Structures are given as structure tokens and as C-alpha cells.
Structure 1
């Protein structure tokens, strides 16, 4: 029988946690917009450039977006055309790390204002997998969800 040794998973705290809290806050702010379209150059700096990475967001397609460029096109097509503004606020941010991989989780609230004046507010949660490359933490996977709320009986 062979024994495999793994580097321990560390729940981050203090300055180490502060780094990831700032990353998550900056990441959410990069998708927020007062003009109806985010700064894709700013948002793109968080993502690894690999074309085969899968990103899941709350919208279509169900099988996710493959690569940053496809994620950007999908959001431009399905989310941002009808928006006048979007505010994305994260809270309860936590982070764990093993070597050059880290993952963050957080709750979020989005307030989206459509061009027709309607407002949609929703809350959800998100997990992001980060990989440290050349000293920078880049997103190599993300998954966002909105918890199921059963109908009132």
C-alpha cells in the first residue's frame, strides 16, 4: 500500500485572507456598471487566458462558457444589452489555499436596472478557483448559483 502526502489545505486569515477579500471585491466591482456595460478590459485581467477553461454563470448556456472570450461574448449577448446599470456586492468572503491554488466563496447581491426602468435584485453565492501564475492570482474556474427557494405552502 502506498501513502500519498498532500500539502495541507489552509483556511486563510489575517493578511492572507485580506488579499483574497480584496481580489473578490475588485472582481465584483469590475462587473458592476453605471453605463450598462462593464469594463471588459478590467474584468478580463482576473481571468486566466486559457481558451479551454469552463466558467458557469447564472445564465445561459447551461454548459457554461469555454474561455474568457466566449464568456465575454455570452454576457454581451445575453446580459448586458438590456442593462442601464448593475451593482454586484459580495459579502461573507472566505478563502482556502493549497500551494498555487486557492478557492474563494462568498455570498452576493446584484441590483440590475434595465433600460426600461425595471429593477431586478437577487442574491446568490459563488465559488472561484484561483491559480497563482507569475505572482498573480487568476481565475481558472468559477461557478455562481442562486439558492432554490421553495414556494410557500
Structure 2
């Protein structure tokens, strides 16, 4: 779903979103430098990840260091979007949300699978769309005393 399917910025945003997604399809080592141009690499960049810390990462430097710590735990990752991608734009700001599956192998050879939700906020500067806020979350379930799952 998009706010305006005729939006002339939609093809550029879709291409950047797909490039973002495919950065996580890897086996072996991953080099973030190949996709750093997708990000607003400044002190205002903010990210909340499915992994700690709870307060997320404020600033590109903090996120970059934390990202490599998290990614070093995986040997293989596959990242697929569900069919609920939504993209909206107002002027120089765009945002998207999607549910996804993130799965593969840890460096120890264990399989993992996480269902997650992703929201990205993009800003346009110098003619390019860049991520200024990234938020990935994973639904958690809690059993109440009566057995109800919330």
C-alpha cells in the first residue's frame, strides 16, 4: 500500500528498500560498507533493534558498532518481507512499515527464525533518500495466570 501509487519518488524508494532488505541475505561475512549510503550517518540517526540495548542506538557511530556486534553472531541470514509493505511520503520525509521473517544459522550452526516488524523513516537530502530512523521489533507473547496469551 502506498499513499500515492503515482508518486514519482516511489521507484527510488522501492529500490532503496529492496537494497536494504537484501543486505541481510548473506552467508559468511557481511560488509556493511556496501550499503552505508542508505543511511543518514550522523549524530541524529536513531535505531531500535530486536536485540538489546532497550534504549536503542543514538548516533551513527553507536549503531555501527552495535550492528557489527549483533551480526557477528550469525553465519547465514535470510530476510524476507511479507506482502504488507506500506510506503508513505510527505515532501522530503518518507516512511515504510512491513512485517518480515529473519532466519538462518548462528555461527554455532544453530537454526534461528524471528518474526519481526520493521519501520524505516527516510529523509531526502542531496537528491538521495537515506534512513534516519530504523525500528525493528519482534512480537513477544506472555501467558497470563488464567492461560490467556497476550
In the superposition, the TM-score normalised over structure 1's length comes to 0.82
Q: Deviation per CA, 1:64-96: give whole Å up to 9, x if none.
A: 11222221211222x222211111112321111
Written as runs of structure 1 = structure 2, the 5 A alignment for 1:3-152 is 11-14=3-6, 16-35=9-28, 37-77=29-69, 79-91=70-82, 92-151=84-143
- Provide closer, same or farther for how the CA distance between residues 107 and 57 of structure 1 changes in structure 2, counting only shifts above 3 A: same
Distance 2:115 2:40 in 1: 26
Q: Per the alignment, in what secondary structure is the counterpart of residue 45 of structure 1?
A: helix
Residues 44, 132 of structure 2: 8 Å contact kept: no
Q: Per the alignment, in what secondary structure is the counterpart of residue 123 of structure 1?
A: strand
Match of 1:6 in 2: none
Q: How many residues in Structure 1 have an aligned counterpart in Structure 2?
A: 142
Gaps of 5+ in 2: none
In the superposition, the TM-score normalised over structure 2's length comes to 0.83
Match of 1:3 in 2: none
Deviation at 1:134, TM superposition (A): 1.0
Gaps of 5+ in 1: 1-9
